[in-house]
Chain A
Amino acid sequence: MKITTRRAAARALAALSALTLAACAGGAASTSSSKNDMIRVAVVTPQSGSFAAFGTEQREGVQFAAAEANKNGGIDGHKVELYLADSHGTPEGAVAGAQRLVQQQNTKYIIGLVSTPELGAVEPKLSAWNALMFGTQGQGDALTGESCVPGFFRVTANDSIGVRTLAAALKTFKDKQWDSIAMDYSYGQASAAGVEAALKQDGSGLGKKLFSPVGTTDFGSYISQLSGKGGIAVSLSGTDGINFFKQSLQFGLLQKYNTVLANTGLQTSTLAALNEPRLVGAWGTNTWLPTADTPGSKAFVAAYKAAKGKLPSENIGNGYLGMQTLFAGIRKARSTDPSAVGKALNGLTYDSIQGQVTMSAADHQIEAPTYIGRVEKYEGGYQLVAKQAIPASENNPQANPACKMPQQ
Chain B
Amino acid sequence: MAVQLLNGLAFGVLLLVLSSGLALIFGLRGVVNFAHGALYMLAAYIGFSATTHLSFWAALVITPLALASLGIVLDRYGLRFLSHRAPLDMVLLTFGLTFVITDLVETVWGEQSRSLDPTAALAGSMSVFGVRYPTYRLFLIAVGLLVCVALVVWLRLSRTGLYIRASSSDRRVAAVFGVDVDRASAIVVGLGSGLAGLAGVLAGPYLSLSPNMGVEILIQTFIVVVVGGLGSLGGAMIAALVLGMANAIASVGFPSLSAYVPYALMLVMLLLRPQGFAGTRTA
| A interface bracket (residues with beta carbon within 8 Å of B) | 35 or more
Look across to chain A and name the residue whose beta carbon is closest to the beta carbon of B136: A250
Q: Which residues of B contact A53 (CB under 8 A)?
A: 111-113, 210
Whether a CB of chain A sits under 8 angstroms from the CB of B56 is no
- Contact of B115 with A by CB under 8 A: yes
Please name the residue on chain A nearest to B112 by beta carbon: A53
Contacts of B210 in A (CB 8 A): 50, 53, 239
Of the listed stretches A153-161, A220-228, A350-358, A395-403, name the one at the interface; the rest are far from the partner chain.
Answer: A220-228
Determine, out of B18-26, B74-82, B143-151, B255-263, the stretch whose residues face the partner at the interface.
Answer: B255-263
Task: Give the number of residue pairs across the A-B interface with Cβ within 8 Å.
Answer: 99
Determine how close the nearest CB of chain A comes to the CB of B106; give it in whole angstroms: 7
Give which listed residue, B10, B112, B211, B248, contacts A272 with CB less than 8 A.
B112
Among candidates B7, B137, B212, B249, residue contacting A52 with C-beta atoms closer than 8 Å: B212
Q: How far is the CA of A273 from the CA of B208 in the complex (A)?
A: 8
How far is A50 from B134 in the complex, measured between Cα atoms in Å?
27
How far does the alpha carbon of A247 sit from the alpha carbon of B259 in the complex, in Å? 19
Question: In the complex, which of the residues A50, A247, A250, A251 has the most CB atoms of chain B within 10 Å of its own CB atom?
Answer: A250
Cβ < 8 Å to A, chain B residues 115-139: 115, 118, 123, 125, 132-134, 136-137
A30 on the B face (CB < 8 A): no
Q: Which residues of B contact A270 (CB under 8 A)?
A: 113
- Interface residue count on the B side (C-beta < 8 Å): 41
Q: Which A residues are in CB contact (< 8 Å) with B251?
A: 212, 221-222
* Cβ B211 vs Cβ A52 within 8 A: yes
Residue ID in chain A nearest B260 by CB atoms: A213
Q: List 16 A-B contacts (CB under 8 A).
A: A52-B211, A52-B212, A211-B255, A218-B247, A221-B251, A221-B252, A224-B3, A224-B7, A224-B252, A238-B113, A239-B213, A242-B115, A246-B208, A252-B132, A269-B112, A270-B113
A56 to B134 Cα, complex, angstroms: 34
Given A224-B3, A273-B112, A251 contacting B216 (CB threshold 8 A): no
Is A184's beta carbon under 8 Å from chain B?
A: yes
Chain A residue at minimal CB-CB distance from B9: A220
Counting chain B CB atoms within 10 Å of each CB, the highest count among A213, A220, A239, A247 belongs to A220
Of all chain A residues, which has the CB nearest B135? A250
The A47-95 residues at the B interface (CB cut-off 8 A) are 47-50, 52-53, 55-56
Which residues of A33-57 have CB atoms within 8 Å of chain B's CB atoms? 47-50, 52-53, 55-56
Instruction: With CB as the reference atom, state the residue of chain A lying closest to B1.
Output: A224
Cross-interface CB contact of B259 among A47, A184, A225, A239, cutoff 8 Å: A184
